[in-house]
Chain A
């Protein structure tokens, strides 16, 4: 008897599971709520819910933004937390099934991938576009069209431990010499790499040799032509070998190890982004943020990363979601996002109001910067780029040979 009871219960469970997989239940959160008369929605005339996926670091921020949005429009923002690495992949997989969210928060360089898969909808901000930082808008623009509302810009820079050194020379070679002379320093400077390489953190040095990843056209947008081939790229490859010999970069020095070395005061300098500053300050280190000194003679230009909100092309609730995007473009929302997230706002008006020496330092360092390219092929470019740099750093391949092979590999992807 007992067994058949379990059997029946299991059958029931099976069916209910199958029923769950059968799609959103009628009247679930993502549908435009027909039953308007909830007493809380008395202030503005609107109601309903939009769902947004955010990563763990931004849940609180967007909960607060959601409150502001509800106060302004009466629409509830349903903030769903997803692991950082899963947002893009899950969104691409789920949007076509109609199970995805209305909006996602992410980096601008997803735009190529998301558009190639047809899961995001263009966003029309109208005249409000002119209020934004041009580079932020350029980051979210793909194929001539805007695909998201940017809210923050970030880039890496040279972070200095003021307790160990107080002035910074103008060239990278001098900086290494200075760092070596510092008492108690194990490394003159750390630049995180790890097993797979990290072209992003080496990019300011690479660009100082005049070898950007892609050439840019007159408007500053990337062309499909590689810029890092040629003698400039090879010069950087040779310089990278020199950095490896000087122990500035090493495969065993990943992000965690580099950060720890800086916190332990084993190095006076680190090339890193604003995300680590809070931990440095918590460790009692007095830091300054500066532009990365040039290694190859030209100004160093880090990649700019722009954070923003994308709209799903499959949203059943596109109008309300667009109203949220409209709200995101307001000074009120951008100010609040700065307060909670501590990144330079993408809206010029809000950015101008920011008064913080650390952020000013990052902004100064990113002055020459370009948004990270967003082409769908970029994933492959990063992979080849990183592994070529790893072969150079470990000495597995001669610098020029590794670099030339990388260029050939990347070109085969286009």
Chain B
């Protein structure tokens, strides 16, 4: 741990001393950083990702400054963490917040430009009843041209000139094989220029209504026509019947007078619409409120039950009179060692009404509908979470109990306090000082305990008649998932808005909780 922060100016950092290896290690690492950084900048320039380019450039400058500067000692330690924070937390949150204000989701998947391209692409269709032609791709003075055989006669055309007969071309069967003054492209050459080949439309005649020749695979060409024409100035599509579709910037769709639309649409900012829907759409707001209540009940009960059981076991097994404590402690930690989602799946099988181990074997063939009845399903979830969660509480309370000085208890004994009094007046308050923050984080974790709910009940049993498969055991986060992904079409915008709302709820509860724990610390 050498550092320049000591008072004696003569001590030079290893990283600045030419005679020490530290300098060279730093040099190599910084070279790598700069090389990767510059590469990233060039790559993002090539991809025209300007925001990324700006981020990389600023980061690189900051990194170079911090690590080559003699000052900025704290920054040398903080910077990597800060960069990760920006990348994986701040950016993700900002992006979620942005999506919450858009209509991003199925049908509005991309920007406007690609949507227009896609509409044009799907509108450009083969004219029914026309034949297909084996096509030869030519390079005529640098321009791609198509050659086909129509009625036994070779015809050639390119982007400017419609198909015209080329008497001097050599035909072999159905295909043109040689054209004077032009090169026949082979497969490899075509692949290298595939964009030009795919984009080429050769008019059949001078009349645009006859359609054009195009190819998808450079072996077969077909006659196509577009069902829609795009007017870039007016920003409208017109179909063959003259129906006009206007771009609606508020909905992100091309809409006609009669309400019909073109797919796909594009992403637009819709303001607070997603938040509004969450509270005003009665089909969503009803389940939202009952899920909110259940989420609090689930999180609070989970914390209380796991903490109570963990505490009792910890107190019992903290007593030196219990034999085989190490063995029991090891056994208790087992549920903690299983991955939670795996355990939830196993429990789902155990709790199966007709085939599950619990009904069939443990309870001797009774018919208890553990996961199919709303209240029993809630009970099952609390019990399974108790099984999953008590080892953690057991571990932390055991640790905290051992740090409570024994003299305090001895002094209480001398004062004549009974065991209960000693527990509630000395052990528990001292325990809570160190454990309370963990209880709050446990609350926050269970508030968003998606995997347990999703794996154990899938949120079911479902409320009949809601527009998404939302059930009685759905907590907010699993409800968001059901609405965003399981209701048929994906609604990232709505899901993001709900996530933001949940974020504020959890944030508020945690903030209140941590404020309360400060009061506990005053006991010390």
Asked, given contacts A8-B33, A318-B216, whether A15 binds B109 with beta carbons under 8 Å apart, the answer is: no
Q: Is the CB of A11 within 8 A of B79?
A: yes
Chain A residues near B462 (CB, 8 Å)? 387, 390
Q: Which of B83-133 contact A (CB under 8 A)?
A: 83-84, 87, 106-107, 109-111, 114-115, 117-119, 121-122, 125-126, 131-132
Chain B residues near A17 (CB, 8 Å)? 87
Q: Is the CB of B353 within 8 A of A252?
A: yes
A-B interface, 7 closest residue pairs, ranked by CB to CB distance from nearest: A19-B40, A380-B488, A379-B488, A118-B264, A319-B194, A10-B80, A126-B132
A353 at the interface (CB under 8 A from B): no
Task: Produce 1/0 per residue, B402-425, CB < 8 A to A.
Answer: 000000000000000000000000
Complex CA distance for A110 and B5, rounded to whole angstroms: 63
Q: Which of A1-57 contact B (CB under 8 A)?
A: 1-12, 14-19, 21-26, 32, 34, 36, 44-48
Number of inter-chain CB pairs below 8 Å: 246
Chain A residues near B44 (CB, 8 Å)? 19, 22-23
Q: Is the CB of B222 within 8 A of A126?
A: yes
Complex CA distance for A10 and B263, rounded to whole angstroms: 45
Complex CA distance for A380 and B483, rounded to whole angstroms: 11
Q: Is the CB of A7 within 8 A of B77?
A: yes
User: Which of chain A's residues has its CB closest to B356's CB?
Assistant: A252
Complex CA distance for A19 and B111, rounded to whole angstroms: 23
Could you say which of B79, B217, B220 has the most chain A C-beta atoms within 10 Å of its C-beta? B217
Interface residues of A, count at CB 8 A = 90
User: Which of chain B's residues has its CB closest to A413's CB?
Assistant: B488
Which of B182-190, B269-277, B295-303, B506-514 forms contacts with chain A?
B182-190
B8 at the interface (CB under 8 A from A): no
Q: Which of A112-158 contact B (CB under 8 A)?
A: 113, 115-119, 121-124, 126-127, 143-145
Q: Chain A residues in contact with chain B, CB under 8 A?
A: 1-12, 14-19, 21-26, 32, 34, 36, 44-48, 73-75, 89, 92, 96, 113, 115-119, 121-124, 126-127, 143-145, 195-196, 250-253, 257, 313-314, 317-320, 322-323, 325-326, 376-383, 387-388, 390-391, 394, 396-397, 402, 405, 409, 412-413
Q: Which of A11, A118, A326, A387 contacts B109 (CB 8 A)?
A: A118
Asked, given contacts A12-B36, A391-B464, whether A22 binds B49 with beta carbons under 8 Å apart, the answer is: yes
Determine how close the nearest CB of chain A comes to the CB of B66; give it in whole angstroms: 9
Which of B53-61, B154-162, B163-171, B437-445 forms contacts with chain A?
B53-61
Q: Which of A16, A115, A196 contacts B36 (CB 8 A)?
A: A16
New A-B pairs, 20, CB < 8 Å, besides A144-B125, A409-B465: A2-B1, A4-B15, A4-B67, A15-B37, A17-B87, A23-B44, A74-B187, A116-B489, A121-B121, A195-B372, A195-B458, A320-B191, A326-B217, A326-B219, A376-B106, A380-B487, A380-B488, A383-B488, A387-B464, A397-B464
Complex CA distance for A47 and B194, rounded to whole angstroms: 12
User: Which of chain B's residues has its CB closest to A320's CB?
Assistant: B191
Chain A residues near B460 (CB, 8 Å)? 195-196
Chain B residues near A15 (CB, 8 Å)? 33, 36-37, 40, 56, 59-60, 63
Asked, given contacts A12-B36, A113-B489, whether A409 binds B467 with beta carbons under 8 Å apart, the answer is: yes
B175 at the interface (CB under 8 A from A): no
Q: Which of A25, A121, A323 contacts B218 (CB 8 A)?
A: A323
B246 at the interface (CB under 8 A from A): no
User: Which of chain A's residues has its CB closest to B227's CB?
Assistant: A144
User: Which of chain B's residues has its CB closest to A253's CB?
Assistant: B354
Chain A residues near B122 (CB, 8 Å)? 115, 121-122, 143, 145
